[in-house]
Structure 1
Amino acid sequence: MPSAKTNLTLTTPIRALPGVREEHALKLEQLGVPNVGRLLTHLPHRHEWIRAQSGLADLEVGIIGSAIGEVSATKVTGFGRKARFQAVITDETGRLDLVFFNQAFLAKKIHPGMTLRVQGKPNVYGGGLQMSNPSFSIIPTEELGGLPEDQDDEYRPVYPATEGITSEQIRAIVTRVLDTGCALIEDHLPDAYRSERAMPSLADAYRMMHAPQSEDEVKAARRRLAYDELLLLQLGVHMKRAHLRQTLTAPALERTKEINERLAARMPFVLTGAQQRVVGEISRDLALTVPMNRLVQGDVGSGKTVVALDAMLLAIAHGHQATLMAPTEILAEQHYLSIQSMLEGGSVKVELLTGSMAQADRESVRARIASGEIDLVVGTHALVSQGVVFKSLAVAVIDEQHRFGVQQRAQFRVKGAGSEAESHETPHVLVMTATPIPRTIGLTIFGDLDISTIDGMPPGRSPVTTTLVPPDRRGAVYERVRARIEMGEQAFVVVPAIDTGASNTGNALRDLRTVVADLEGGPLHGKRVAAMHGRLERSTREHIMGRFRAGLIDCLVATTVIEVGVDVPNATVMVIEEADRFGLAQLHQLRGRVGRGEKPGYCVLIGEPTTDDGIQRLRAMTETTSGFVLSERDLEIRGPGDVFGTRQSGMAPFLVADPLKDLELLQMARRDAAAWIAESPNLDRPEDTAARRRLLKSHGKWLGIGDVG
């Protein structure tokens, strides 16, 4: 067993440290802290400012302080679980009341005449100062004369803890290894580099986070650690980008005058100015042999699919193939039907490929993809399976990027521009998302993508009015729905589940079957009500949607299968049951199903949120219809730990950095990473070794850069 001072390494198990109890080591392991290295990176989630020891009368309300006083009185009040122990301590300056909830046993430990050192946050109660559940220690009489008089203010770390180990116990273990452990930390930033940016060493940053001497030290340490997180990610995306540009080529797809005229003739309507601008940006990319890697973002209904179709048709016009991958079978089906409709009467051969198709049908589609008979294939992740071989794939479109990740883009890369092509040939990749991305997140997660924004809406779209209604006013909502139906309009009702389950409040959920039965037997009696959900066969879903589009269904009750891709201009009302169970981006997507025609749209959120986050989400929905504003609000509400679904993208969440608050730091990291990769594209210089090692450990897998260089 190593001592705390000698033979210590960053891989030394916590349970091997002297003086650490077995149960505490086990609890730390459950927190993801098995060894010394992980212990040093288990950072405090906040620091408490603790005032130096003072007289009782000098304690400040709301600020953690410590003082020494003699116990003048004690008592126990209440019974059982509600029992509490109360004590009064005094000194020459005044008195302080102490209350310990659920700790009546302290009556056997603390008695009048004893001297206590207490620490806690005072509040005003009954006209005097009181501390609730303070930490305390009993000072033996023989030590009273030897207490130090002068103490400094302290910035004490508060650690993420769990049942069985407290923050103070974690702090004690950290203190044992802090100096020796920090000395073992390798810094991946050279001294001169850090000096230019006024940043402490990595070892000093960890020391200052765990044992700061001042608030300035906490700020300096946090700045360094946040910068590290942002820099390593930016190094990764810039390295990936440089690798693609240097080693891979794609077919050059020039937009000639003849092709441009043919594409314009194929479009079902005139593009908006915003769409034309983005088409121009994409066309300039496609004309080069450098593989395009572009993200197109736009609000709900801004016309992204048409822009993507233009790029795919450009590939087909040059004799190549194109593909569009969606995250769900339902969305893939909707894209397939929409594109088929737009290309009706033309010569472009479009096909659908999903995992649930019969094996014989899948094999037939695969064979026709390999032969080049199919020009444009729409599908799910089945498109990147090993059994799919394209004859000449030139443009790959991925819809709803945040539901996939970098890996899916990489899988399209290896599909190549043709089965007989060299391995360095790859298709152009276009990613589109209907969830607008805050600029900070675009820079952070999609740093390897160029970003285009469709910031306008097609003409003829009407505004959508959103209201939040409590459950007890549900009846009035559906009377309003009935009135709209009787005016010749249609409605959506969205529910959180197909079957009954427990809601956040413990009450039964408003599931699909319950809502359909209630509507048919109540406010929508005599109206044409239908239900749709993901368990239905594809042919059944298509039949129901076809009837709804044709106006043969008045009210469609559905789960979130209608979240994206459904376009029924006559649908003007969207009712969302249990709205507090949906995320902000999802609510905005659902709202986008109405207001797609000339008549104004209405979105009614039925819910009674019980959490602050839920209240903020639903309030934001009623205050703005802008997806861009909502994306910023969503980030503020959810915080930086899982920015924009980073867990779904495969990216490790930030532990320190906050892209919203650290925008200046993010921009610095982005500039620094670009300059670093320009000088050393593969980070293969001797001085880059530590940075490369840390980069591959933190981001190599999700960025797919383990084999770069």
Structure 2
Amino acid sequence: MLSEKQVQKIPINGSFSGLFQAGTTSYSVNGLAVSDHPLQKRNDQWRDSLLRAVFTLPMRYADRRTLWNIPEFEEDTKVYVKGTVISKRTVHSKKGPFLDVRLKDTLGHEFQILWFNFRAYQEKILQTGNQHIFAGKPKRKNALWTLFNPEVLSAADMGSIQPIYRKEGKEHSEQVKKRIRLLIKESATFIPALFPAYLNQVLQLLDLPALETALRDTHWPSDLESAYLAHNSLKVAEMLWHMETMTQHPASRVTAIRPVLQFSQAQQQRLLEALPFPLSASQQKAWAGIQQCLSQPRAQDLLILGGVGSGKSALAFLAALAQATAATGPNQVLLIAPTVILASQLYENLLGIAATLGLGVGLYGRDKYASDTLTHTRLWVGTHGLLTTVNNWDDIGLVVMDEEHRFGKEIKNLPAHVHRILMSATPIPNTLAQQRFGAMQLFRIRNDHHQRSVHSTVLPRNAPQAAMEQVQKTLLRQRKAIVVYAAVQERESLTLPEQFYFLHPQLPGDQAIRIEARHIHPDLDPQQPIETGKLARVLLPYSENLARQNPQVIERFYRLNKTFSAKKILEGADQLELIEQDLLLYDKDQPDRFFLAPISWLRKGKNGALSTKAILSACQQEALPAMPVLRGAQLLQGKSLESSRTFWEQKFPGKTAFLHGQMTDSEKAAALEGFRSGQTPLLIASNIVEVGIDVPGAETVVVADADRMGVASLVQIRGRVGRHGEPGYCFFLGSARDRDAMQRLEKIAREENDEHLAIQDFLERGFGSAGQAQSGNAARLFRLPRDARLFLKVAQIRASVNNATQA
């Protein structure tokens, strides 16, 4: 039975063969209702432990169903052989003593065991006449099949396929297996309640085993094919669990009742007439849907999705004006922008519109705010600091957040009764996930008031001539250009792993240097973050010297693509007798690691080789050990804005202005005014220009280190040019040494649909969690973008199943 520590994690004992019905929510155990169970207070802890167990997969399986005899042995193929000891001797060599044991298999064939660094335990059990089962990979040595340091098993260990688990903390593999099996077996009755009731329906549509079958085949496998198929079922279960978690609103937000907005015909007409231009067909459709949502008695979460310059602000203004002119409260509205620049622009645009309806507008910023007017003004525009000034949230009916991808998740959490409208061309992955999974209403604005034409080009950072020429042409035509840097000053830092592979920018081809962090520099602490600039100054020369003095540290890695051939590698390895070496395998969907595989592992049968698909599958199942990868491009990021200041001032004297977030509001305003007027037509800026820069004549933008920026930032920066029906030019500069980064930039440059790019960002970075994380991948079994295709398919099936249920 379970230990006391294990019992603390499991409030109820059940049977693995007992009731296993999805959606069950109430149980009784020994006549005691779950809600009355003495361990119910630990329910959250128990649920988390149980979920962790369900989402823990064996790293591999040991097929112990068959005993081998000597005639069946193959080199480097794991065997299980029963042997009877016929002799044993201790040999003393220069490298130390070892045991030389001779045995016979069940057919009487002789084989040998060599045991190095042996202990008294091994010497004691290997007595003449004793019989044991040994596991290992045999090799030919002096005409005898030999096992080196084999694993010793008993008859009880044989006859089945045994899952082998990764160590967790102080638990070794066998302890993890016992804990996982006990936890799942004892709590099997309650596992389905952790998942949506439609889980097995989705699995059936994907032609995958049901949850109960998947758990059995994963941890009590009868054959390997079923075990790996079961892994996919559990992967889907985890996907659905995350999707459901993302859609769960706090109970208070679900139940809070608020006064509904009434939209009379006359009021609608007044609102529309207040706008300086008529709505497009797409805006009209979105506005109708927004009105319907705002007429509900509960708080609504809405996402307005539209490309740069598509007219999202007009819909936000209409919603704000409707709330502010409502006959019943709460009728105060907050419009939140990520920067003072954009807040000022929204304020100026809204001021005249609101005046036609007799409404005043307040502006909150770093230098502009009158504390006693918040209670008297219905419309307020400001940065996120405006949220902290609210004393009475009962008066706030609506909060609009423009460019929502620039806000942290904690800022988006609002009181239960407040309507929330988010706007973006490229929503943050977490926001997009909420919309995709059904927690947020989406309103698309498909058409663009100005048919934008922006030509996007990707260039290596060391060959920016085309971008420089375009900047010069733009300025000669009396137009404007922007150059954007990811950092004002180089401050980015990272923590080194103890061992890693380094892709030095000067290494030719697919080669990497194996590095031990403790050897890089005596003052370098691998446990502490180090600035990339400082690390570059230390690591680059160290790795160069290391490679020069010891070329063996340079290893080739293999990309698992169409050109990869396990057969050719095996043929070459056989000729050079390299069969024992490890290969470094690279999966483009997991670019932060190399997988280590013995060359012999590529072999299938005597003369065959594994397919690239099978090898990729092993990497994606994380069935192979891995080593972290650090790219030189992460250290050689290009210059920062401040370090480039002199270059631009000398190249274009008297024409250059600088803009970044560390400047005062007055300094920013002066820089923008010089840019707008054309007095300084070249703006050198940080990514503060993502939002709020809408300047006629802005024709060219150059992103000096685009490989350091996310999809959303690049889309927004590209949106600064070609905004008024004029042609625009955009250049993304990246490291020529980082092939994957350049391919990513090419993909972004080719795609003109901002929503498609937001989805790409979503799949690249993961969608975060229900907590504070807005991106990343908290999953244990599935990884993005590796499992993107399956993930999107599961989301599509989930939506169709839910729609069918609601219908």
TM superposition score normalised by structure 1: 0.67
Deviations 1:511-553 (A, max 9, x none): 112323112212x2x3510000001111221222233222222
Residue identity matched to 1:545:
L
Deviations 1:318-349 (A, max 9, x none): 36332112344444344334434766787432
Determine which of 780, 786, 795 is the counterpart of 1:655.
780
Structure 2: distance between partners of 1:667 and 1:339? 39
Determine which of 151, 171, 178 is the counterpart of 1:176.
178
Structure 1: distance between partners of 2:257 and 2:407? 22
Shift of 1:295: 1.5
Alignment of 1:270 with 2:278, yes or no, is yes
Q: Which moved more, 1:208-217 or 1:52-61?
A: 52-61
Determine which of 6, 9, 19 is the counterpart of 2:6.
9
155 and 394 in structure 1: CA distance in 2 versus 1, 3 angstrom threshold: same
184 and 225 in structure 1: CA distance in 2 versus 1, 3 angstrom threshold: farther
Structure 1: distance between partners of 2:338 and 2:163? 47
211 and 603 in structure 1: CA distance in 2 versus 1, 3 angstrom threshold: farther
1:43 equivalent in structure 2:
56
Alignment of 1:248 with 2:257, yes or no, is yes
Structure 2: distance between partners of 1:590 and 1:60? 60
450 and 500 in structure 1: CA distance in 2 versus 1, 3 angstrom threshold: closer
231 and 648 in structure 1: CA distance in 2 versus 1, 3 angstrom threshold: closer
Structure 2: distance between partners of 1:487 and 1:55? 84
CA contact (8 A) 1:250 1:394 kept: no
Q: Secondary structure at the match of 1:348?
A: coil
1:481 equivalent in structure 2:
471
Shift of 1:54: 7.8
2:383 equivalent in structure 1:
380
Alignment of 1:394 with 2:397, yes or no, is yes
Output aligned runs, 1:588-603, within 5 Å.
588-603=715-730
53 and 604 in structure 1: CA distance in 2 versus 1, 3 angstrom threshold: farther
Shift of 1:377: 0.5
579 and 48 in structure 1: CA distance in 2 versus 1, 3 angstrom threshold: farther
2:487 equivalent in structure 1:
497
1:138 equivalent in structure 2:
149
Output aligned runs, 1:639-654, within 5 Å.
640=766, 642-643=767-768, 647-649=772-774, 653-654=778-779
Alignment of 1:535 with 2:532, yes or no, is no
Q: Secondary structure at the match of 1:472?
A: coil
Output aligned runs, 1:241-390, within 5 Å.
244=253, 246-256=255-265, 258-318=266-326, 320-340=331-351, 347-354=358-365, 356-357=366-367, 362=369, 364-365=370-371, 367-371=372-376, 374-385=377-388, 387-389=390-392
Structure 2: distance between partners of 1:550 and 1:318? 40
CA contact (8 A) 2:181 2:219 kept: no
348 and 155 in structure 1: CA distance in 2 versus 1, 3 angstrom threshold: farther
1:219 equivalent in structure 2:
229
Structure 1: distance between partners of 2:243 and 2:489? 42
CA contact (8 A) 1:49 1:156 kept: yes
Structure 1: distance between partners of 2:233 and 2:431? 17
Determine which of 451, 460, 476 is the counterpart of 2:442.
451
Structure 2: distance between partners of 1:582 and 1:625? 18
Shift of 1:412: 4.3
Residue identity matched to 1:381:
H
1:623 equivalent in structure 2:
750
340 and 588 in structure 1: CA distance in 2 versus 1, 3 angstrom threshold: same
Shift of 1:309: 0.8
Residue identity matched to 2:779:
F
Matched length? 566
Structure 1: distance between partners of 2:198 and 2:162? 25
2:462 equivalent in structure 1:
472
CA contact (8 A) 2:460 2:733 kept: yes
Structure 2: distance between partners of 1:592 and 1:656? 37
49 and 514 in structure 1: CA distance in 2 versus 1, 3 angstrom threshold: farther
- Which residues of structure 1 form unaligned runs of 5+? 14-31, 71-90, 92-103, 110-114, 123-128, 130-134, 414-425, 679-709
170 and 620 in structure 1: CA distance in 2 versus 1, 3 angstrom threshold: farther
Q: Which moved more, 1:392-401 or 1:539-548?
A: 392-401
Shift of 1:175: 2.2
1:74 equivalent in structure 2:
none
Structure 2: distance between partners of 1:58 and 1:6? 43
342 and 136 in structure 1: CA distance in 2 versus 1, 3 angstrom threshold: farther
Deviations 1:203-244 (A, max 9, x none): 875564455443334433542564366257537736658x64
Structure 2: distance between partners of 1:545 and 1:59? 77
Deviations 1:136-180 (A, max 9, x none): 74359xx99x999x987x685564x79x98xxx843331233332
Structure 2: distance between partners of 1:615 and 1:45? 36
1:693 equivalent in structure 2:
none
Structure 2: distance between partners of 1:47 and 1:632? 33
Deviations 1:596-651 (A, max 9, x none): 1232111111111655652342121222121122223333333x4x4599753499
Q: Secondary structure at the match of 2:276?
A: coil
Structure 2: distance between partners of 1:454 and 1:7? 59
Q: Secondary structure at the match of 2:310?
A: coil
Structure 1: distance between partners of 2:199 and 2:270? 59
Shift of 1:565: 2.7
Deviations 1:355-382 (A, max 9, x none): x44xxx64x34x21213xx231012333
Structure 1: distance between partners of 2:180 and 2:307? 49
1:562 equivalent in structure 2:
689
Structure 1: distance between partners of 2:74 and 2:747? 38
Q: Secondary structure at the match of 1:541?
A: helix
Shift of 1:119: 4.9
500 and 450 in structure 1: CA distance in 2 versus 1, 3 angstrom threshold: closer
42 and 486 in structure 1: CA distance in 2 versus 1, 3 angstrom threshold: same
Q: Secondary structure at the match of 1:597?
A: coil
Structure 2: distance between partners of 1:651 and 1:507? 24
* Aligned sequence identity (%): 23
Output aligned runs, 1:151-166, within 5 Å.
159=166
Structure 1: distance between partners of 2:159 and 2:687? 60
184 and 58 in structure 1: CA distance in 2 versus 1, 3 angstrom threshold: same
Determine which of 66, 85, 104 is the counterpart of 2:78.
66
Structure 2: distance between partners of 1:205 and 1:558? 54
Alignment of 1:230 with 2:240, yes or no, is yes
Structure 1: distance between partners of 2:199 and 2:638? 58
Structure 1: distance between partners of 2:477 and 2:735? 30
Output aligned runs, 1:654-673, within 5 Å.
654-656=779-781, 661-663=790-792, 665-666=794-795
Residue identity matched to 1:388:
N
- Which residues of structure 2 form unaligned runs of 5+? 11-44, 84-104, 106-115, 123-132, 141-145, 492-531, 534-632
Q: Secondary structure at the match of 1:265?
A: helix
TM superposition score normalised by structure 2: 0.59
Q: Which moved more, 1:615-624 or 1:41-50?
A: 41-50
Structure 1: distance between partners of 2:234 and 2:255? 32
CA contact (8 A) 1:583 1:617 kept: no
Shift of 1:42: 6.4
Residue identity matched to 2:258:
T
